[in-house]
Amino acid sequence: MLLTDVLLPGGLNGQEVADPAQAKYPTLKVLFMSGYARDAIVDQGRLRPDVQLIGKPFTSSELQQQVIDTLDKPIT
């Protein structure tokens, strides 16, 4: 599983990190995190609408549950 922020230093975004990783490892699950609202980052084209996303700030138990949910989600 890959956990990455949506916005990364150097002009990259998390989707640009996840896409080649999933191309190399097709069964790789990805969880994105962001302090921005889902609609805002999807509308800006930084993320696809069907990705797993946890909003910041989050608690360790929220992260734990989101990791479980991400790992349990079927690969599409």
Tens of pLDDT, residues 20-42 = 999 999 999 999 999 988 888 88
Under CATH, domain 2-72 is a member of which superfamily? Answer: Response regulator (3.40.50.2300)
Structure token pair of residue 71 = 């790992």
Tell me what the mean pLDDT of segment 44-73 comes to.
93
- The domain ranges of the chain are 2-72
Tell whether the model's pLDDT for residue 46 goes beyond 80.
no
Burial group, residue 52, by CB count within 10 angstroms (0-12, 13-18, 19+):
middle
**With left for phi above 0 and alpha for psi between -120 and 50, is residue 39 left, alpha or beta?**
alpha
